Structure 1
Amino acid sequence: MRKQNAPLNPGRFDALVEGSEKLWGLTTIAAVLGVSVDKARRLAKIESTPIYRPDGRSYFAFRSELRDWLRSK
């Protein structure tokens, strides 16, 4: 019998594809920023922060935009 792997979710996908430009979900974004999920959610509400949630859907961000945003702080 073959062992079944855990389901592929956005965070696990980003981990498997190291260096993925697009980051899906607050958990993944928070991990990249080194903050809690709650802090990432609060940051997403600030207009100048490059964390997106189009039409109330899942949060996403681009790794390069987050890096540039952090460098500007």
Structure 2
Amino acid sequence: MTRTATHPPLDPWRFDAIAAGPEKLWGLPAIAAALGISIDKARRLARLPDCPIYRPDGGSYFAFRGELNAWLRSK
């Protein structure tokens, strides 16, 4: 008996969603690790107006992995 797959084909965006891990990244160390950069570089990126690294009211940094991936693809 054969089974047919009912899932759409695996594209880069679906792969990111499946393999990426948690969507919300808390703190610069987690963001830097997800991007493969230093914490200082992540801090500098967060200052760019179009970079999706957030720090509301001067609190902790956070980012959404999907937004970071989309932002990196646009560069």
TM-score normalised to the size of structure 1? 0.74
Larger radius of gyration: 2
- Report the alpha carbon displacement of residue 19 of structure 1 after superposing the two structures with TM: 1.2
* 1:25 match: 27
Q: Secondary structure at the match of 1:35?
A: coil
Partner of 1:66 in structure 2? 68
Structure 2 gaps, min length 5 = 1-19
Counting matched residue pairs gives 56
* One-letter identity of the residue aligned with 2:57: D
The CA deviation at 1:31 is 0.4
Unaligned runs of 5+ in 1: 1-17
Once the two structures are superposed, residues 1-47 of structure 1 have per-residue CA deviations (whole angstroms, 9 ceiling, x without a partner) of: xxxxxxxxxxxxxxxxx711100000000001110000000000001
CA RMSD in angstroms comes to 0.9
